[in-house]
Amino acid sequence: MKREEFEKISEPIFRSISEVLSKIRDNLKQKNINLHSIELVGGGSRIPAFVTLVKSVFGVEPSRTLNSSESVARGCALMAAIKSPLFRVPDYALN
């Protein structure tokens, strides 16, 4: 399948993603939160049309400096540990 074909059949999905991203952008503006950067992770970060969509909605060039699959797996493992009564996870903050 060529990229053009994929983007054509995926257009309804990208349109709904664009609506969600626009709502997030508007919500950030209402709360006076300035977006400094965007880090894309997961399989979607490998789709050029998705990267272009994120850039067009937020006006920020998204980066992909993290290992996409590994960062999602680590995040899931961390959330599982936080939710589990068997593990004690220290408090931390992200900036």
pLDDT of residue 68: 76
Give the Cβ contact number of residue 21 at 10 Å: 15
pLDDT of residue 17: 95
Q: Residue 35 and residue 65: Cα distance in Å, rounded?
A: 17
Are the C-beta atoms of 27 and 3 separated by less than 8 Å?
no
pTM: 0.72
Least Cα distance to 21 among 66, 47, 48, 59 occurs for 59
Q: What's the token pair of residue 58?
A: 């937020």
pLDDT of residue 88: 79
Residues of the chain with pLDDT under 70: 92-95
Q: What is the CA radius of gyration of the chain?
A: 16
Predicted confidence (pLDDT) per residue in 19-45, tens digit = 999 999 999 999 998 888 898 888 888
